[in-house]
Chains A and B, each alone.
Chain A
Amino acid sequence: MKTSLYNDHVALGARMVPFAGWDMPLVYRGIIPEHLWTRAHASVFDICHMGEFEIKGATAEADLERLVTLGVASLKPGACAYGYLLAEDGGVRDDVICFRLAPDRFWLVVNAGTLAGDRDWIRAHLSPHTTFTDLSPATAKLDIQGPGARQGMEAAFGQALPPLGYFHFQEVTIQGTPCLLSRTGYTGEFGYELYVPANEVPRFWNCLLKSGQILPAGLGARDTLRVEMGYPLYGHELRLEWRPAGASRGRFMDMAKPFIGRESVRRELETGAYRVLVGLLLEGRMAGRAGDPVMKDGVGVGEVTSGLFAPSLNVAVALAYVDQAVSRPGEALAITVRGKSLNARVETLPLYKNGTAREAR
């Protein structure tokens, strides 16, 4: 499938790659330059492949409360929160952001690769009077991320944006078009996720790029940015075969309310019998990759789920699940890569400490 911006990406010289059934831009000018520009200025990412569901009605809150791990009742209109969509056995079906637009109206933003499965699963678990609408085909998503995002967008659109706290959003009208603007993102930098009608997204994209303050960035930079922050990527750090205890150590889950999968998550948290997701700092440029074993004194203690050269840290890093006994910051471990042993030290997340995501701008 192609997003509404496919021709714009090709015109910009993007290298297109298949991702979750979509042809997506991997890189325009270079992954590292796009990464560094995002940290220092602002970039726009085409994220139209992700899915948006609207869930509405007097019973929507109670239905969502059972479906997702985050606390829905405590979510005020204009706020959004991150959590998991679990299977009965606690396996992670997806990680989602839940937006409350009104007391009886919600959005769930879901991953592209899990969209169809999520849709069936959610519909099968809704009360008869809760309405479900898959907004994805008609909804485009642009992520504008970086310390200069607000300034760049206000200049591009010729209008002021409302002040928004982190993980808050507002329905806004931009150049006459109704949009949803959210102070969220996947880079660790200040910025927004902007939802616009799919048929209007080429106009928004080109308007944002016109001044040169905001440059396009591809999925390559999106990955390096999120790995430096320790943000999980579904299919790497989160999987249907794994429960979420080790990914978040209990965060993003309101254990005081019943939700699908809770009993198995509770058992796991109580017994402590799970590996935890940690960040690893290596010593050189050579990187471990997903699937590479993590060792302590020659014994296997974990596995890498994402690994790459981190452009802002100028060293290779990894995300890995490791035994709790070796998960403390400072712990000296090793990753076996092509028969070589690379020293790796457990480091607190985020690996990149200077992100601006929570700053007011």
Chain B
Amino acid sequence: MLHNPDDLKYTKTHEWVRTKDEEIEVGITDFAQHQLSDITYVELPELNRHLDAGEEAVVVESIKAASDVYAPIAGTIVEVNEALATTPEVINSDPFGAGWIFRMKPDHANDVDALLSSEAYEASLPAEH
């Protein structure tokens, strides 16, 4: 499994968060993409939609099932990864990079501080991984 980058923040529901200037970029972790296996479709959120922390933002479909991706903190969608419409499998191949899913403008920038560190996230994963 890929290392969970130390410069990212994480949620217990397997989203990662990268802070970029005033915005955050959100994707799902390598653990999550591995659990889902082959990702075949991503239902992206609408631009300018406001989401509360923990609200369903995205549906990721794999061969086997559809799974929700949640807003890690409260904020407004400012950009979505359009490339996922035709090549959703980049979430499998590059979950922490090209497989990013959406960008948000947080309501409160310091909400990110309360999210998990890479160590805390790894500690929350099942022992066999």
On whether the two chains bind one another, the answer is yes
Chain A residues near B (Cβ < 8 Å): 15, 26-27, 30-32, 220, 223-224, 284-287, 289, 308-309, 316, 338
Q: Which residues of B contact A286 (CB under 8 A)?
A: 41, 43, 61
Bound complex: CA A218 to CA B64 (Å): 13
Contacts of A26 in B (CB 8 A): 37, 64
CB distance from A302 to the nearest CB of B (A): 20
Q: State whether A309 touches B66 (Cβ < 8 A).
A: no
Chain B nearest CB, measured from A172 CB (Å): 35
Q: A31, B63: Cβ atoms under 8 Å? A: yes
22 inter-chain pairs at a CB distance below 8 angstroms, sorted by A residue, are: A27-B37, A27-B38, A30-B37, A30-B38, A30-B92, A31-B63, A32-B38, A32-B63, A32-B89, A220-B63, A220-B64, A224-B63, A284-B41, A285-B61, A286-B41, A287-B40, A289-B65, A308-B64, A309-B41, A316-B40, A316-B41, A338-B59
Name which residue of chain A comes closest to B41, CB basis: A285
Q: Please name all residues of chain B whose beta carbon is closer than 8 Å to the beta carbon of A15 when the two chains form the complex.
A: 34, 37
When distances are taken between beta carbons in the complex, the residues of chain A under 8 Å from B92 are 30
Which of these, A31, A316, A338, contacts B38 with CB under 8 Å? A31
Flag whether B88 is at the interface (Cβ < 8 A).
Answer: yes
Q: Kindly state the separation between the CA atoms of A26 and B43 in the bound complex, as whole angstroms.
A: 24
Q: How far is the CA of A223 from the CA of B59 in the complex (A)?
A: 22
Report A224 CB to chain B, min CB distance, Å.
Answer: 6
Q: Is the CB of A285 within 8 A of B88?
A: yes
Least Cβ distance of A30 to chain B in Å? 6
CA distance A262 to B63 in the complex (A): 37
Max chain A Cβ within 10 angstroms of own Cβ: one of B38, B43, B64: B38
Instruction: Give the interface of B toward A (CB within 8 A).
Output: 34, 37-38, 40-41, 43, 59, 61, 63-66, 88-89, 92
Cβ-defined contact, A289 with B66, below 8 A:
yes
Q: Output the least CB separation between A317 and chain B (Å).
A: 11
* Minimal Cβ-Cβ distance residue in B for A34: B38
CA separation between A292 and B40, bound complex, in Å?
A: 18
Q: What residues on B are CB-neighbors of A32 within 8 Å?
A: 38, 40, 63, 89
CB contact between A309 and one of B34, B43, B61 (< 8 Å): that residue: B61
Distance (whole angstroms) from the CB of A116 to the closest CB of chain B: 26
With A26-B37, A30-B38, A309-B40 already in contact, 16 other A-B pairs whose C-beta atoms are closer than 8 Å: A15-B34, A26-B64, A27-B37, A30-B37, A31-B37, A31-B38, A220-B37, A220-B64, A224-B63, A284-B41, A285-B40, A285-B41, A287-B40, A287-B61, A308-B64, A309-B61
Assuming the contacts A287-B41, A316-B41, asked whether A309 and B63 have C-beta atoms less than 8 A apart, the reply is yes
Of chain B, the residue at the smallest CB distance from A340 is B43
Shortest Cβ distance from A27 into B: residue: B37
Nearest A residue to B40 via CB reads A309
A114 to B126: give the CA distance in the assembly, Å.
Answer: 32
Inter-subunit contact B37/A308 (CB<8 Å): no
Report the minimum CB–CB distance from B31 to chain A (whole Å): 12
CA distance A316 to B63 in the complex (A): 10
User: With A and B bound together, what is the CA distance between A220 and B65 in angstroms?
Assistant: 11
Q: Measured between alpha carbons, how far is A207 from B64 in the docked complex, in Å?
A: 30
Distance to closest chain B CB from A261 (angstroms): 33
A27 CA to B43 CA, complexed, in Å: 24
Q: How far is the CB of B2 from the nearest CB of chain A, in Å?
A: 14
The chain B residue with its CB closest to the CB of A338 is B59
A269 to chain B, nearest CB (A): 35
A residues less than 8 Å from B59 (CB atoms): 338
- A289 to B59 Cα, complex, angstroms: 14
In the assembled complex, which residues on chain A have CB atoms less than 8 Å from the CB atom of B88? 285
Please measure, in the bound complex, the distance between the C-alpha atom of A17 and the C-alpha atom of B66, giving whole angstroms: 17
A289 vs B65: C-alpha distance in the bound complex, in angstroms?
8
* A residues less than 8 Å from B66 (CB atoms): 287, 289, 338
Bound-state Cα–Cα, A79 to B124, Å: 54
Q: How far is the CB of A187 from chain B (nearest CB, A)?
A: 15
Enumerate chain A residues within 8 angstroms of B61, measured Cβ to Cβ. Answer: 285-287, 309
Q: Which residues of B contact A309 (CB under 8 A)?
A: 40-41, 61, 63
**What are the residues of chain A within 8 A of B37 when measuring CB–CB?**
15, 26-27, 30-31, 220
CB proximity of A310 to chain B, nearest CB, Å: 9
Q: How far is the CB of A312 from chain B (nearest CB, A)?
A: 13
Point out the residues of chain A lying under 8 angstroms from B64, CB to CB. 26, 31, 220, 308
Which residue of B is nearest A309, CB measured?
B40
